[in-house]
Amino acid sequence: MRAIAKRLRDPLDAATDAQKEKCKSMEAAKTEQLPYQRRADFANSLKELELHSKMHADGLKKELATTEQALIALTTGENESAPQGEYGITISGAFKRPRAGTEEADLLSTSHPALPHV
């Protein structure tokens, strides 16, 4: 009886040993491929990073253009909001003075009894 069981077991052991050898060779092949796979993964990651950085740069360009337009609108609005020659401090902190030859400059240059002469 033991001889029959041993004969049946021999093909199973041989198949198991063959499967173990096959697994070992597959593991060895997989281990050999790891450096190449890592390089491929690294290259793919670099491509993705480059794509994301380009998208981010495009977004920053749009934001910069919007900021520049807003700044231009503010400075244009600042100069147009107050009539030329009006005293005051603008948004940028510049002090406006009356232009020569304007009605305000003429009024300030003439002496008025209530105002000290400028």
Which segments within the chain are labelled E, that is strand?
A: 88-89, 95-96
Q: Same domain, yes or no, for 60 and 91? A: no
Q: Residue 118's pLDDT is what?
A: 47
98, 105 Cβ separation under 8 angstroms:
yes
Q: Residue 31's pLDDT is what?
A: 86
Q: Residue 14's pLDDT is what?
A: 79
Half-sphere exposure of 46 (CA within 13 A, CB side): 6
Half-sphere exposure of 8 (CA within 13 A, CB side): 5
Q: Residue 70's pLDDT is what?
A: 86
pLDDT tens sequence across 49-74: 999 999 999 889 989 988 888 888 88
Q: Same domain, yes or no, for 115 and 57? A: no
Q: Same domain, yes or no, for 9 and 47? A: yes
The parts of the chain modelled with pLDDT lower than 70 are: 1-9, 77-118
Q: Residue 103's pLDDT is what?
A: 64
In the block, residue with structure tokens 């977004």: 59
Residues spanned by the domain of 33: 2-81
Tell me the C-alpha distance between 44 and 40, whole Å.
Answer: 6
